[in-house]
């Protein structure tokens, strides 16, 4: 007997880009250890960072705090002491005027965005409200989170050539329109998948537009400010009332603890806490317990500036040099400017096959990537560009990155 799924059930239970990504990641780490994993967003195994978390776990065992961490439920909005500590950290390090009432702890930013998108948008009485993504390509994990059809809309970018074999996406403010049905705007910074970082003018203009229309501007800081701080141009977006910021523990080497913090106005924080009680009961305690003393003494910020960011900058330069040497001038290619995050975003202009077909061929050659079309959603028109793009991560060991990129280049050249 096969039950009939509801409309919402079919939307959530059907195939999706994020499901394919996570299935590939899991298979690569377990049943196919020979797979060159250039597709996921998993952070690199940085020895100093791994040692930091081992030391924290040893300290929790020694002082007995592990018992309280594992044995108790916290409130659905997060541990009150952690929220106080995190607010104090944001005041001190970032200059954000926030209190505990501005902080909601959530079981991952992925689940936080699912709740946010469906809290703010969807069917509202006789109207339908939508989330606007002002700068495609955008994070694959958002694409299937809407519970109502037509809940997402998006704008195409301006594509600017910034150097030989290099492009940058900019918000196209000439095309950006805030219509009465727009409930919020959302952008990741640095952007997953491209590593794009908003310019200060773009950030200020988006905030001004949101403020003028009385809607939230949502900023996903999973790779950026204040930690892990993998932004190479020093940009530090500032939270202000009416905005919603998401900050994740995943990219500081803790994807397994599934913990994120939302910074927002108190009524948004309270709504998310209430929703979290329904869908999750409470948050995991381990991430908050591991992080709290490192917020008090600014250890995490120092690690970001002195260890994490330089590691990814060096790895980014290495990956770019390998790919450039392998592709040369034999095909028309460009990378997005390397401004942050953990990825190369490769555009092969005029690629004779689709990125999805290229993904399939590479998988047969034991290289996993993410085809670009998954990062283009909320559109009413066709857009060929993302079908010529791949997202490639360079967080794996250097020999795997080199082998994978050289195979990718070879497969691209063969396709012409």
Residue 212 has pLDDT above 90, yes or no: yes
Residue 377 neighbours by CB distance under 10 Å: 21
Contact 354, 83 (CB under 8 A): no
Average pLDDT score over residue span 151-165? 97
Which tokens hold the place of 176? 């950006």
SS3 346: strand
Which tokens hold the place of 171? 């918000």
Average pLDDT score over residue span 216-225? 96
Kindly indicate whether the domain formed by 15-45+302-415 is annotated with CATH number 3.90.1150.10.
Answer: yes
Which tokens hold the place of 214? 């009385």
* pLDDT for 10: 78
Interacting residues of 165 by C-beta distance below 8 A, sequence separation 6+: 324, 333, 334, 335
- Kindly state the helix (H) or strand (E) to which residue 29 belongs, with its residue range: helix 17-29
Phi, psi of 101 (to 5 degrees): -70, -10
* pLDDT for 225: 93
The Cα angle at residue 49 between residues 45 and 52, in degrees rounded to 5: 135
Q: What pLDDT, in 10s, does the model give residues 314-353?
A: 999 999 999 999 999 999 999 999 999 999 999 999 999 9
Eight-state DSSP code of residue 6:
P
Residue spans per domain, the chain: 15-45+302-415, 50-299
* pLDDT for 282: 87
Contact 345, 391 (CB under 8 A): yes
The DSSP bridge partners found for residue 262 are: 104, 246
* pLDDT for 125: 81
Eight-state DSSP code of residue 251:
G
Full DSSP string of 208-220? HHHHHHT-PEEEE
Which tokens hold the place of 226? 């204040």
The CA distance from 370 to 140, in Å, is 9
| pTM for this prediction | 0.93
* pLDDT for 42: 84
Q: What pLDDT, in 10s, does the model give residues 95-107?
A: 999 999 999 999 9
Q: What pLDDT, in 10s, does the model give residues 1-38?
A: 778 777 777 777 777 766 766 666 566 556 667 889 99
- Among candidate residues 362, 334, 325, 383, the one with its CA nearest the CA of residue 165: 334
- Among candidate residues 128, 146, 113, the one with its CA nearest the CA of residue 12: 146
First CA to last CA distance, the chain: 48
Full DSSP string of 73-113? PPPTT--HHHHHHHHHHHHHHH-----GGGEEEES-HHHHH
Which of the four CATH numbers 3.30.1510.10, 3.40.640.10, 3.40.1190.20, 3.40.50.1820 does domain 50-299 have? Answer: 3.40.640.10
Contact 197, 223 (CB under 8 A): no
SS3 121: coil
Phi, psi of 298 (to 5 degrees): 65, 20
- Alpha carbon 140 to its chain centroid, in Å, reads 8
Average pLDDT score over residue span 233-253? 94
Contact 32, 290 (CB under 8 A): no
């Amino acid at each position: 007997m096969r039950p009939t799924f509801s409309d919402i059930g079919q939307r959530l239970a059907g195939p999706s880009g994020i499901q394919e990504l996570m299935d590939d990641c899991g298979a690569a780490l377990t049943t196919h250890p020979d797979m060159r994993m250039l597709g996921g967003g998993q952070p690199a195994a940085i020895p100093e960072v791994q040692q930091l978390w081992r030391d924290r776990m040893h300290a929790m065992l020694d002082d007995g705090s592990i018992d309280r961490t594992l044995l108790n439920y916290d409130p659905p909005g997060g541990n009150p002491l952690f929220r106080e500590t995190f607010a104090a950290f944001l005041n001190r390090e970032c200059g954000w005027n926030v209190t505990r009432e501005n902080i909601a702890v959530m079981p991952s930013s992925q689940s936080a965005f699912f709740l946010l998108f469906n809290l703010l948008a969807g069917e509202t009485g006789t109207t339908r409200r939508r989330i606007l993504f002002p700068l495609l390509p955008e994070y694959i994990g958002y694409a299937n989170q809407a519970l109502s059809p037509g809940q997402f809309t998006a704008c195409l970018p301006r594509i600017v050539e910034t150097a030989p074999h290099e492009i940058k996406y900019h918000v196209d403010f000439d095309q950006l329109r805030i219509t009465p049905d727009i409930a919020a705007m959302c952008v990741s910074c640095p952007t997953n998948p491209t590593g794009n970082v908003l310019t200060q003018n773009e950030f200020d203009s988006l905030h001004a537009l949101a403020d003028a229309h009385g809607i939230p501007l949502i900023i996903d800081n999973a790779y950026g400010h204040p930690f892990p701080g993998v932004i190479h141009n020093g940009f530090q977006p500032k939270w202000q009332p009416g905005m919603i910021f998401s900050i994740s523990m995943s990219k500081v080497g803790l994807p397994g603890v599934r913990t994120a913090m939302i910074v927002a106005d108190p009524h948004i924080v309270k709504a998310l806490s209430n929703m979290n009680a329904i869908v999750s009961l409470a948050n995991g305690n381990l991430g908050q317990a591991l992080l709290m003393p490192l917020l008090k003494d600014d250890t995490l910020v120092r690690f970001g500036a002195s260890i994490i960011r330089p590691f990814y900058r060096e790895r980014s330069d290495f990956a770019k040099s390998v790919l450039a040497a392998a592709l040369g001038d034999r095909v028309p290619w460009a990378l997005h400017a390397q401004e942050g995050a953990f990825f190369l975003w490769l555009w092969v202009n005029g690629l004779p096959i689709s990125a999805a077909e290229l993904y399939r061929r590479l998988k047969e050659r034991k290289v996993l990537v993410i085809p670009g079309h998954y990062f283009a959603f909320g559109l009413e028109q066709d857009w060929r560009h993302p079908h010529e793009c791949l997202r490639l991560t360079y967080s794996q060991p250097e020999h795997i990155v080199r082998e994978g990129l050289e195979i990718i280049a070879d497969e691209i050249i063969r396709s012409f």
